[in-house]
Amino acid sequence: MIGYGFMGAAHSVGWRQAPAVFSLPRPVELTVVVGRNPDAVAEAAEHWGWAESATDWRAVIARDDIDIVDIVTPGDSHAEIAIAALDAGKHVLCEKPLANTVAEAEEMLAAATRAEKRGVVAMVGFTYRRVPAVTLLRDLIAQGAVGTVQQVRAAYRQDWLVDPLQPLAWRLQKEHAGSGALGDIGAHIVDMTRFVTGQDVEAVSGTVETIVRRRPLLGSGTGLSGVAADGFGEVTVDDAALFTGRLSGGALVSFEATRFATGRKNALTLEVSGSEGALAFDLEDLNSLQFYDRTAPADRQGFTKILVTEAQHPYVAAWWPPGHTLGYEHAFVHQAFDLVSAIADGSQPHPTFAEGLAVQRVLGAVEESAATGSAWVRTGFRAHV
């Protein structure tokens, strides 16, 4: 695993737990975690159960005892690491968004296509697909539970940047993150919309906004008093993005990605309205779905709650008895299980780098629309969902 921050912790839990919970077709060894700070990465290796740590990712990729490279670094290094790993014959799991630009994502897809001919696979870490309720939502739509999809409302709202004295971090710098809320959390709702509907986002129209444009540098203090005049840096990404989209089936989608939704901590919501019913999901209540059946008798209509904890539901049989809920970290366990299973049976795991590029094209089109004021910008790319 290359990188060891927040996502490194989540991925480590996934890799550690998957062999214990699922009957994996291949054994998994947490061999080495890589980071630039030797002391910090050594501490992370010990804490999360990696056998060793290293600071040179190129040397690690060249090792014969490494089969999978898991990339959890900031977006500015995704392309270089993923392409090198795929060309070296390593299977790759890369955190979302796939890259910082469409051009980088296209290069990564080209590398993945070359590697696929040699039996090497590449997957993007859109982990929310693997929350059992989200997978079930996808399955129910495919079974016709809502009829023809007519409208989708997708939002990802957080508030961790509302405080103007929240320090400047890499996620707020375009050269490292590519974009702000749009790429960080907007990518999730674009992918989730594609996943549950089975349709592409063909065109978008949107706007982005940077609400707080200067923030204190890390270590420069926690309040305005005592902060030197040069103790602030420029925020070069968006804080909020609002955009509409048109699906390949004709339905209209509204998207909201913001880090300024005061009081909302991790509120990812998705509602799909169709000719025969509707389905709704809320990550802050991630073990359930809301289902509306328009075909039911009038005296029985209304949204009903489906508790997604039955053994018949996706992934759940490996865990606990009905009613015993799962959490955020379990999706990373499911991700590890799916990737290892695909490698073992020679299939292509989803989401693919092509799907990652499809999301990247949507993000790029939103940025173009916001910059130019264009009413609609076409994404111009289709990928199997």
Instruction: Give the model's pLDDT for residue 227.
Output: 42
Q: Is residue 339 part of a domain?
A: no
Is the pLDDT at 182 greater than 80? The verdict is: yes
Do both 318 and 222 map to the same domain?
yes
Q: Which CATH number does the domain housing residue 287 bear?
A: 3.30.360.10
Tens digit of each residue's pLDDT (9 = 90 or more) over 208-240: 999 999 999 976 444 433 344 568 999 999 999
Do both 176 and 85 map to the same domain?
no
Do both 303 and 221 map to the same domain?
yes
Q: Is residue 340 part of a domain?
A: no
Tens digit of each residue's pLDDT (9 = 90 or more) over 71-118: 999 999 999 999 999 999 999 999 999 999 999 999 999 999 999 999
Tens digit of each residue's pLDDT (9 = 90 or more) over 245-259: 999 999 999 999 999
Alpha-carbon distance values, 231 to 173, 188, 216, 236 (Å): 16, 33, 6, 16
Query: Percent of the chain scored above 70 by pLDDT?
Result: 97
Handedness of CA 321, 323, 329, 334 (dihedral sign): positive
**Pick from 128, 151, 173: which residue ends a domain?**
128
Tens digit of each residue's pLDDT (9 = 90 or more) over 308-325: 999 999 999 999 999 999
**Backbone dihedral angles phi then psi of residue 260, each to the nearest 5 degrees:** -125, 30
Q: Is residue 344 part of a domain?
A: no
Which of 30, 372, 14 is closest to 204 using CA atoms?
372
Domains in the chain: how many in total? 2
Do both 62 and 111 map to the same domain?
yes
Q: Is residue 163 part of a domain?
A: yes
172: three-class secondary structure by DSSP: helix
Q: Which CATH number does the domain housing residue 33 bear?
A: 3.40.50.720
Do both 80 and 146 map to the same domain?
no
Altogether, the residues listed in the chain come to a count of: 385
Q: Is residue 385 part of a domain?
A: no
- Total-model pTM: 0.95
Measured distance CA(209)–CA(369) in Å, rounded: 13
Q: Which domain holds residue 265?
A: 129-327+353-378
Instruction: Give the model's pLDDT for residue 361.
Output: 97
Q: Mean pLDDT, the chain, as a whole number?
A: 95
Instruction: Give the model's pLDDT for residue 238.
Output: 96
Is the pLDDT at 300 greater than 90? The verdict is: yes
Instruction: Give the model's pLDDT for residue 195.
Output: 98
Do both 188 and 220 map to the same domain?
yes
